[in-house]
Amino acid sequence: MSQETAQHKTEQADLLKLEGIGVRLGGRLVLSDVTFGIRKGEFTGLIGPNGAGKTTLLRVILGLQEPSGGQVLIDGEPRQAHHNSSIGYVPQKLVIDPDMPLRARDVVSLGLDGHRLGFGFPSSRRRELIDMALRDVGAEKFADARVGELSGGEQQRVLIAHALISRPRMLLLDEPLANLDLKSEQEIVALLGKLARDNEISVLLSAHDMNPLLSVMDRIVYVANGHVATGSTDEVVTSEGLTRLYGHHVDVVRVHNRVLVVAGE
């Protein structure tokens, strides 16, 4: 990213802002004083070890988990039900039975009005929208296959199309790269990077490994030990910074443009 666009983005107001969020699960404080913002069209990686609270943070933003403190702001106002349509969501790996009577195009169709009561009558306009969404994610080849029979990478594409067809301004993805083979992983990352750039959609993606995302991430939100550190990868992922966050000694090693975070002596 050039200096000017980076400059331009800092002047812009946050699309999403978390202010002092704390979360208590079963009486235990799992996150405290989490503060960060996401700007329009920005690709943010929500990185941290398994069990750090990445899913919990996404659930707070989605309104599925009530925080014990702090607030979630969208366009500067507290998050309310009418903001649901601004947020597209791709949940963690779904287990879909092969006999589930949903073709890829049916799943995308549910993204349009799956939350509404009533009948969805087929129309050429509707079909066009669905075909377009499938094409945008490269899923046209398996549009008429049952979603339960698709591979993990193919399912991710379909779920991304499902999330995007209602034209949200923000896309939240929970560990979309888990259980994918290397090739699908790279394809999904490239696809998301392109979607964020071309459509100015803010992407917030959780992952336990930041390496596949280094080429597309504008910013990183690193979660560990109930707290977050946020900024550019270079600012956040340092031995000193992460040692402070984890609360014990951590070494950050860079090899061939890859980053390894290892527990220190």
Is residue 113 near other proteins by the rule CB under 8 A? Answer: yes
Does position 35 bind other proteins by CB under 8 A? no
Among 22, 69, 138, 153, binds other proteins (CB under 8 A): 153
Among 40, 71, 96, 243, binds other proteins (CB under 8 A): 96
Specify the residue, 131 or 149, whose C-beta has the smaller distance to other proteins.
Answer: 149
Of residues 105 and 227, the one with the C-beta less far from other proteins: 105
The DSSP bridge pattern shows strands 170-174 and 202-207 to be parallel
Place of tokens 């995308």: 108
Instruction: Compute the distance between CA of residue 247 and CA of residue 229 in angstroms, rounded to an integer.
Output: 13
* Residue 103 binds other proteins (CB under 8 A): yes
Residue 127 interacts with other proteins (CB under 8 A): yes or no = no
Contacting residues for 201 by C-beta, under 8 A, at least 6 apart: 41, 88, 164, 168, 169, 170, 171, 195
- Give the residue with the Cβ less far from other proteins, 145 or 259: 145
Find the binding residues for other proteins in span 166-185 (CB under 8 A). Answer: 181, 183
Residue 149 is a binding residue for other proteins (CB under 8 A): yes
Residues forming contacts to other proteins in the complex (CB under 8 A) are 59, 62-64, 81, 84-85, 87, 89, 91, 94, 96-97, 99-103, 106-107, 110, 113-120, 144-146, 149-151, 153-154, 181, 183
